[in-house]
Amino acid sequence: MIGDRVEVVVDTGTGAAQVYEIGATKAGRRVEVSTARGIVEVAELTRTGNPVRVGRFMQSRVIAIVEHPADETKEITARRRKTRSEQEETLL
């Protein structure tokens, strides 16, 4: 869903941490996180499952993974308001 995003905090080895962010940029896309063989993979996928953007990080360097789901209530109310205003304009 548009608005979904995942932040990955990675230790760079210099005493500082770097933050990478991957998010769903268009409607119908989703963000998935998977871990296998010491690699953390964060991918933005289309509806059919084709990857658009992929980030791969060494599991030993990942400090945190923060998932931010999209706020569905804001999107629904925005749609309702838009539909209502369009209907009012046609009545005038």
Q: What is the pLDDT of residues 7-66, one digit of tens each?
A: 999 998 888 899 999 888 888 888 999 999 999 999 999 989 899 999 999 999 999 999
What are the residue boundaries of the structural domains of the chain, listed by start? Answer: 5-91
pLDDT at 38: 92
Note the helical H segments in the chain. Answer: 72-91
pLDDT at 42: 92
| Order of all β-strands in the sheet with 5-11 | 17-23, 5-11, 62-68
The answer to whether residue 82 scores a pLDDT higher than 70 is no
The model carries a pTM of 0.70
- Among 13, 21, 15, residue whose Cα is nearest residue 66: 21
- Among 34, 37, 26, residue whose Cα is nearest residue 4: 26
With cut-offs at 50, 70 and 90, classify the pLDDT of residue 74: low
